Amino acid sequence: MIEISHLTYDYPGRRALDDVSVTIDPLTITALVGPNGAGKSTLLRLCAALDRPYLGTVRIDGLDVHDDPRAAHRSMGVLPDFFGLYDDLTVRQCLLYRARAQGVPEEQVEAALHRAAERLDLMDRLRDKAGTLSRGLRQRLAIAQAIIHEPKVLMLDEPASGLDPEARIALAQVLRRLRDDGMTIIVSSHILAELEDYSTHMLIIRDGRIVEFTPIGQTARHEGRLRLRLALAHDDARLDELLQKIPEVTVLEMKAAEAVIDVADDAELRAGLLRHLVAAGLPVIEFAPERFGLQDAYLSHVHMPAAAVSVAAAAKTTEGNLA
Amino acid sequence: MIGNPEFTRNLWLQLSWQRVLGAAAVIGIIYYASTFWGEVGQSFASVAGKWLFHFVIGLWSTRRAADALAEEVGGNTWEVQRMSGLSAWQMAWGKLLGGTAYPWLCGLFCLALMDAGLLARGFAQTEILYGNANLIASGLTAQAVSLSVALILLRKVQLRRRLMVTFAQVCGLLVYANSLFGDVASLVNGPHLVSWYGNSYPATPFHLASLIVFGCWMWLGLYRLMRQELQYSNWPWAWLGFLAYAIIYIAGFEAGQGQPVTAMLVWPLITLVLLTYFSFLADPKDPVRYRWGLSALQSGDIGKALSLMPLWPISYVVTLLVGVVLAVLLSSQPLPPGSQDWLRYVWSNIKPDPQVLVIATLLFLARDLLFLLLLNFGRWRERADLAGLVYLLIAYFPLAAILSFVASYRLLAVVIPFDAHNTVMSFGPVLVEILVLGVLVARRWQSRTAIRQHSQAA
């Protein structure tokens, strides 16, 4: 759906994006994360055709966004962090204007307006001026504007910034619903816990390069191996001894009542291992594949030294693309 | 017109029944009052209508045109507009006519008041029509200039200050001031003729036609700027066309009267020099884009190189070509005495050689551009143009005056184009300045465009 190829962009004296390539599949929600100044906003701006790259292309649904920015804008919706609303217009006028500006045929404008307002629960606010709305409602109006023309791709920059917890939960529901309705979504945000609620993929950018692009919430499988997390009801020194004696097991982490081990991705082997531990009298309360958490994965990458990141980037990006 | 969403949005914001009725009531009351005073009242209505139009369109609508963009930028809606499906043309005229819809409505009421007064006084309909067309064309052109200047300032990241909006308004106002020429011409309409390429034309229609063509160029310029803002690739053909038009139009005033070609080229050259300065000052002079353009040129990607090329090198090359042609022709076709009056007026006792002055002007233009470029590649890019202009003005006026007093005329060629009656003294100083500035610009360019990777930057 979104193909970013060798994207390179400079600011005076500094390379902001360095040969960035990634392909984002349809019907996914990708969390775009990274430290301040990593290049997230630049990447979003280039994808939204607000700036032209030095090198590289961005294709959305096969269309090069920089060849014909206007045509590209008709198939994408963008929610900037400042919302960009006309305070003196009513909600209805805001939506009417945006529908027409995005090229919705005149005979379909009313239907599009109602569909967008219903999706974002704004039907009872159509006569209110945008400037009188609360921040949560302004955000909903901004999303309604961004999706009024049924774009295939929706890009959101810090959508939850300044929202109360209730509004954030509502936002997560809206985004999941939009994905279910057929949109591919990219969300740039600093609030990782919130991103984890609805994102299907994570794209970590650092120093203008992609360091990780991976599905979120999947089990930690890699090249036929699997990471398992083991937990006991209480401390037992025999756990380490037992595990060390089994040749098929590699102990990755060991605490008093917890361990992370690496084993072959084989169900029979796992069943045998569990039987062996229980038979040995260990009080096993948890025996499950480890799952990738967005926050853990992010922190593990942003704390990697830059040299290691650049080495990892090439391999992981390719792997992520395949996923 | 309603099919343009940007125009419609502006109408929603600009026009309300209260505002429309208010404007109609004010003009109606003035007209009604004037009917009680016979001829004096009719005269008052026509004069009041005209000056109210000048105020509403000349002062207010040029401000609104620049504000239409400044408000978008300040209200954080400009980026959202840039991400919409609106075309550059829809954006340009929707903003220009929509943002000034209320001033235009008031302006049309004022015109109606003026016309009613003029008709009552027995003025010919043709004359009234010319007057109206002149005022409307002036207003539309002035607004296009005002919005174009605002767009240029936006590209230079300088539109956030209110002073810059005022600057854009003043530029529009200066263009609007030509409508007063229309007024003056109409007073002497008939006997006053304009000679252009050997043909004589009545001044008023000639002025109106010139204004309309100039207005069309301004609207085209606005459209091209908007395209650029919306990230479309622009090749510089429109600017080249405008330069060609400027040469042809201005040369026409000297042509066809038995004048040599050299006389025809003097004013086009002066215009081209000014346009080179203008195009230089209007350019954001972004070293990153310059580097990309040069890189595209080196890799043979001519299309990309042209789309990234700033307009001032093109202006300079055209100026150089016209200047060189003029300098060469001056050897065989000296300027007629009438064309040298201004030289005699400035340097009555020096008797400069026009050929030397032309070549020196081209060299000083190069020097000024290099000097401004040097400042722009420095740390204070935002202030570089203004600071550079101040330095150059000091060099051209007070410093030149001081040198002429202190060291006679011999050293004037250091600061201004001057014929020292000695080739080395006339061209030597400026050539040295160009060489030194060239080396400094090259060094600063290298340091500005050296790319640091993130890890190095950290």
pLDDT tens for residues B32-81?
888 777 777 778 888 889 999 999 999 999 999 999 999 898 888 998 88
**Cβ contact, residue pair A97, B8, below 8 Å:** yes
Q: Beta strand pairing status for B193-196 and A209-215?
A: unpaired
- Name chain A contacts of B450, Cβ cutoff 8 Å: 13
Residue ranges of E strands in B154-296: 193-196, 199-202
* Residues facing A17 on adjacent strands: A9
The pTM of this model reads 0.84
- Name chain B contacts of A86, Cβ cutoff 8 Å: 9, 13, 75, 77
Residue B458 pLDDT > 50:
no
Question: How many beta carbons lie within 10 A of that of residue B189, not counting itself?
Answer: 16
Determine the residue of chain A that is closest to B3 in CA distance: A100
- Per-residue pLDDT, averaged over A25-29, amounts to 90
**Cβ contact, residue pair B448, A12, below 8 Å:** yes
- Name chain B contacts of A15, Cβ cutoff 8 Å: 451-454
Long-range contacts for A216-219 (Cβ within 8 Å, ≥24 apart)? A216/A31, A216/A292, A216/A293, A216/A294, A216/A297, A217/A291, A217/A292, A217/A293, A218/A291, A218/A292, A219/A289, A219/A290, A219/A291, A219/A292
**Cβ contact, residue pair B77, A18, below 8 Å:** no
pLDDT score for B391 = 93
Position A314: which residue type? A
| pLDDT, tens digit (0-9, with 9 covering 90-100), for A112-150 | 999 999 988 899 999 999 999 988 889 889 999 999 998
C-alpha A248/C-alpha B349 separation (Å) is 105
Residue of higher predicted confidence among A186 and B402? A186
- Name chain A contacts of B232, Cβ cutoff 8 Å: 69
Residue ranges of E strands in B84-164: none
pLDDT score for B163 = 79
Residue A309 pLDDT > 50:
no
Contact A181, A115 (CB under 8 A): no
* Residues facing A230 on adjacent strands: A259, A287
Closest CA to B353 of B322, B380, B326, B391: B326
- Name chain B contacts of A88, Cβ cutoff 8 Å: 13
B interface toward A at CB cutoff 8 Å?
5-6, 8-9, 12-13, 75-77, 79-87, 230-232, 286-288, 291-292, 295, 448-455, 457-458
Q: Which two tokens stand for residue B129?
A: 């029509």
Q: Which residue matches tokens 């150059």?
A: B392
Angle (nearest 5°) at CA A239 between A235 and A241: 130
Contact A127, A117 (CB under 8 A): no
Partner residue facing B288 (CB), from A12, A18, A76: A12
Q: What is the mean pLDDT of chain B?
A: 87
φ and ψ at B18, to 5 degrees? -60, -45
User: 3-class DSSP state for residue A224?
Assistant: coil
Closest CA to B183 of B61, B53, B88: B53
- B14 min Cα distance to partner chain A (Å): 11
Q: What is the mean pLDDT of chain A?
A: 83
| pLDDT, tens digit (0-9, with 9 covering 90-100), for B178-191 | 887 666 555 555 55
Integer-rounded Cα radius of gyration of chain A: 24
| pLDDT, tens digit (0-9, with 9 covering 90-100), for B145-200 | 999 999 998 888 766 677 788 888 899 999 998 887 666 555 555 557 888 998 88
- A82 min Cα distance to partner chain B (Å): 7
C-alpha B238/C-alpha B244 separation (Å) is 10
C-alpha B116/C-alpha B124 separation (Å) is 12
Determine the residue of chain B that is closest to A87 in CA distance: B75
Contact B27, B112 (CB under 8 A): yes
Terminal Cα distance for chain A, rounded: 14
C-alpha B422/C-alpha B425 separation (Å) is 5
Determine the residue of chain B that is closest to A72 in CA distance: B85
Contact B262, B424 (CB under 8 A): no
Residue of higher predicted confidence among A174 and B338? A174
pLDDT score for A316 = 41
C-alpha B73/C-alpha B185 separation (Å) is 41
**Cβ contact, residue pair A49, B232, below 8 Å:** no
Q: What is the percentage of chain B residues whose pLDDT exceeds 90? A: 45
Q: Which residue matches tokens 């007209």?
A: B31
- Per-residue pLDDT, averaged over A245-265, amounts to 85
ipTM score of complex:
0.83
Partner residue facing A88 (CB), from B13, B87, B292: B13
* Residues facing A259 on adjacent strands: A230, A254
Position A201: which residue type? H
